[in-house]
Chain A
Amino acid sequence: MNLFSMLDISGSALKAERERAEVVASNLANAETTHSAEGGPYQRREVVFAAKALPEQGFAHALAAASDVVVRGVRVERVMTDPTPPLRRYEPSHQDADAEGYVGYPAINPIEEMVDLMGAARAYQLNVAAVQSTKAMILQSLQIVS
């Protein structure tokens, strides 16, 4: 636990929120995508956050992971795909239409995605505020000597 571990924790949260916003942006961009590399329409992605011990490697990591009283940063553990079946629209002239003339569109609700994006942006803002407070606290402690 050194002077900068608070900054590292907030930094990990900033990274995680940025990744979350990236995933939301990908969902919004692909809201109408009818084919993807894995076949079928684009599937909505969602991030799963997990607490992680800091620092990320080495002896200090093993020690921190084994101890009970440990502060943890956050990381994106995985990006899961939403199993909701695609929406079917009757568009027989579309190149991705099936034998019955239906095209599968991703089950993405842009409003939900926007709310998620706002959540990510607010959480980012909040962690930036935490970084600023940490810096102010450290600088205040330096003022003790002067």
Chain B
Amino acid sequence: MSNTIQGLPPLDPGRFQRAVEQPSGNRSEFLDTLQKTLDQAQEVESDASGKVTDLITGKGQDVHSAMIAVEKADISFQLILQVRNKIVKAYQDISGLQF
């Protein structure tokens, strides 16, 4: 009855970094940027989650600020999704190369 719904645990960013780490040990700027964007998106998402929780538990008073936070999270996610699509497409293009 009183089971609470737990939020998803955050992604372990290290898991992805190790997989694509460059052999020289220097992290590329691109990877840093990607990491920063991912962190930012996660921050925006947890802000939205907090505001919606506040709203439905009666702590929040502004409906619009929760809605705007949700929109921001949606936009951040769309951005990450587009970047991911682009990376996957680049990978597929390379793996499909024939000599």
Chain A residues with a Cβ under 8 A of chain B: 3-4, 7-8, 10-11, 14-15, 18, 128, 131, 135, 138-139, 142, 145-146
Contact = CB atoms under 8 A, between A and B. Distances in A.
Contacts of A4: 72, 75
A26 to B, nearest CB: 15
Interface centre among A4, A10, A131 (most CB of B within 10 A): A4
Interface stretch (B3-11, B16-24, B79-87): B79-87
Contacts of A14: 62, 64-65, 68
Interface of B: 62, 64-65, 68, 71-72, 74-75, 78-79, 82, 85-86
A135 B64 contact: no
B65 A139 contact: no
Given A142-B78, A146-B85, A7 B62 contact: no
Contacts, number: 38
A135 B64 CA distance: 14
24 contacts: A3-B75, A7-B71, A7-B72, A10-B68, A11-B64, A11-B65, A11-B68, A14-B62, A14-B64, A14-B65, A15-B65, A18-B62, A128-B64, A135-B74, A139-B75, A139-B78, A142-B75, A142-B78, A142-B82, A145-B82, A145-B85, A145-B86, A146-B82, A146-B85
Given A135-B75, A138-B75, A15 B64 contact: yes
Nearest to A139: B78
Contact of B68 (A18, A131, A139): A131
A10 B65 CA distance: 10
Contacts of A138: 75
Nearest to B65: A11
Contacts of B75: 3-4, 135, 138-139, 142
